[in-house]
Chain A
Amino acid sequence: MTKKGNDRSVPPVPEEAPSGAGGLRAWLESDAPTSAFQARCVRAWLTWLKFSSNPLAVTGLLIIVALVLVAVFAPLLMTHDPLAQNLSDRLLPPGEKGHLLGTDGLGRDIYSRVIAGSRITLYIVGLVTITAPLFGLLVGTVSGYFGGWVDIVLMRITDIILAFPKLILALAFVAALGPGIGNAILAIAITSWPPYARIARAETLTVRNADYIMASRLQGASDARIVLAHIVPMCVSSVIVRVTLDMAGIILTAAGLGFLGLGAQPPTPEWGAMIAEGRKFLLDQWWVATMPGIAIFLVSLGFNLLGDGLRDALDPRSGQA
């Protein structure tokens, strides 16, 4: 993690705050914050400076922002109904008859389907990144906080799931639950929580004997309160970084499941499933399978760049020489 070695992302050291100039910038770069709120803002601002000085990370952020905007304004951006079939306009090459990226085997507009697919991708990523880290956080903090047998049993289960190839396990789960987008999400979530549990446990072990935990226990706080209100918040930031790094993997797994026909079912315009449909026409109508693949590539590239940038900006051990 810390061996990334490029120290170009060192935050610009705030210059002497221009005295007297009570601008927002001076307030944000102050060495001596006067309130907890200001301290927090200064910290966030410095992180942002560090992050934004890394052009790759900013590119990633822009891609993701674009994805979100496309998903939000999808109805405005689509030129055709993504589900409307038009058999007389099958397999038109890009640009013909107003179809920007051509049409697929049922005469549906590929451009509109790719746009509509952004919503499905965000939906999958959103649900997985809410459920899996929450579950992992819970398992990890409970395991680290209570220790003993609880720890041994929970971590053994975590290790067992961690030891398996994720895609194969997800395949087996979907096979049992039945194909469908909900089950695909469930299967991906089931296979992706263990790393979060490990991270949360490691963080918990470093704070469980801290004075402030003792203090709140002396005040009569229950175990549940200590774990949820005092330990979980300490683990959140490292889990978030890991989640961003994992998002690309989630997208690729979801697309893989869709490609195998186990994720979103036709006619849903899911990118992986669209590639599977385009496979039939690969050699003669290349655009059908190519376009959704480019969309998957761009989005996972965006998440990878963003994740790398966030890690460099948030991880105090890297950079800041």
Chain B
Amino acid sequence: MSDFRSDSVGMRSGGAGEDPLLRRLYDRLRPFLRLFVSLIVTFLGLLAITFFIGRVIPIDPVLAVVGERAPPEVYEATRKAMGLDKPLIVQFAMYVWQVLHGDLGVSLLTSRPVIEDIQRVVPATFELATLATIIGVVLGVPMGVLAAVHAGRWPDHLVRVIGLIGYSVPVFWLGLMGLLLFYGKLGWVGGPGRLDIYYDGMVPTVTGMILIDALLAGDMDIFWNAVSHIVLPASILGYYSLAYIARMTRSFMLEQLGQEYITTARVKGLSEFRVIWVHALGNVMVPLITVIALSYASLLEGSVLTETVFAWPGLGFYITNALVSADMAAVLGGTIVVGTVFVGLNLLSDFLYRIVDPRAR
């Protein structure tokens, strides 16, 4: 009996020299490690899917290079040169290697490397999605708070209706209707594209984001023209983000408002304004950040259709243009980029949540 006890104590003290430190380090790092591993696995999965899609196409990639009438020797040689005679797993490894080195193939449409095309179009999408998220946050958070505070009354119903419409209206149709009303009938905003045609190419490209480039060039005419063009697509996308953010804010706030510290704050005699907008909202901020990250990720998806409607020269427009002309390298390259950003934002929001909220660890 005593043997056993001393033994166990000995074991514990024996390890105490270095173990706790390592252990704590490991505990600290574990979320990062898990994030890293799941990022890698998911990324490989994404590449596996695009690789699979690329091979499923019923076109022989060799024929596309050598042409129909190439002699069999040339065909075989090209096939070897392209690595298509190797086992599938080796081909996949080669594919991953290429993608990791930024080689996404060459676009049929522009005959430039896909990666260069994408670098050129990404700022436009970034600009649009960021502006939409700002709209969504600035309007959505207060609406969600009001809906929670007045649960069951008209602000609450309003948020519910906005959400319901957001889930039911096709985004491309809403965009067309917006164009019809605000551009066609009322003339309040600019039409499709990022600028009126006579301003095209007048600002030097620095960041690729037209608003910032115009400001850098100091040309306010162009800046306001760009604003009139971006405001509609950004509002349409922002609407979807608003609907989601308001709904989530509402449910987070309801949870907070039912807690005891809120009663305490009220009993202390704090103003209702302070209780709601400082105490409750402050605690909601943490989960809200993850919601905003998620909504940003889903905007990338919504931007595919919105950009097509507004002829907005971003990633979504690039992908749909490539689709129409069966430019597979460009489609798959775009898919990889969007997918990677999407996965990254998802994991990041999950991770942030775990870091900031100790209960979720």
Contact = CB atoms under 8 A, between A and B. Distances in A.
Contacts of B298: 165
Interface string B144-158: 000000011000000
A221 interface: no
A5 B308 CA distance: 39
A54 to B, nearest CB: 13
Contact of B177 (A260, A261, A293): A293
Q: For this complex, into which size category does the number of interface residues on chain A fall?
A: 35 or more
B309 to A, nearest CB: 8
Given A159-B42, A172-B50, A175-B328, A167 B56 contact: no
B360 interface: no
Interface in B36-58: 41-42, 45-46, 48-50, 53-54, 56-58
Interface string A1-40: 0010110000000000000000000000000000000000
Given A260-B308, A286-B180, A304-B168, A168 B319 contact: yes
Given A260-B320, A275-B176, A283-B180, A169 B49 contact: yes
Nearest to B53: A176
A173 interface: yes
B67 interface: no
Contact of B168 (A167, A260, A282, A300): A300
Contacts of A305: 164
Interface stretch (B90-98, B132-140, B339-347): B339-347
Q: Is the interface of B mostly helix, strand, loop or mixed?
A: helix
B151 A293 contact: no
A304 B176 contact: no
A290 B255 CA distance: 41
Contacts, number: 147
Nearest to B183: A283
Interface centre among B165, B335, B342 (most CB of A within 10 A): B335
B331 interface: yes
Contacts of A169: 49, 335, 339
B109 interface: no
A157 B49 CA distance: 10
A160 B41 contact: yes
Interface centre among B168, B319, B323, B331 (most CB of A within 10 A): B168
Interface of B: 41-42, 45-46, 48-50, 53-54, 56-58, 151-152, 164-165, 167-173, 176-177, 179-180, 183-184, 251, 254-255, 297-298, 300-301, 304-305, 308-309, 319-320, 323-324, 326, 328, 331-332, 334-335, 338-339, 342-343, 346
Given A175-B323, A279-B309, A293-B170, 13 more contacts: A156-B45, A160-B41, A171-B304, A172-B331, A173-B53, A249-B167, A252-B168, A260-B305, A272-B170, A275-B170, A290-B180, A293-B176, A297-B173
13 contacts: A159-B42, A168-B334, A171-B331, A172-B49, A172-B50, A172-B331, A172-B332, A252-B170, A262-B323, A279-B176, A293-B173, A296-B169, A301-B168
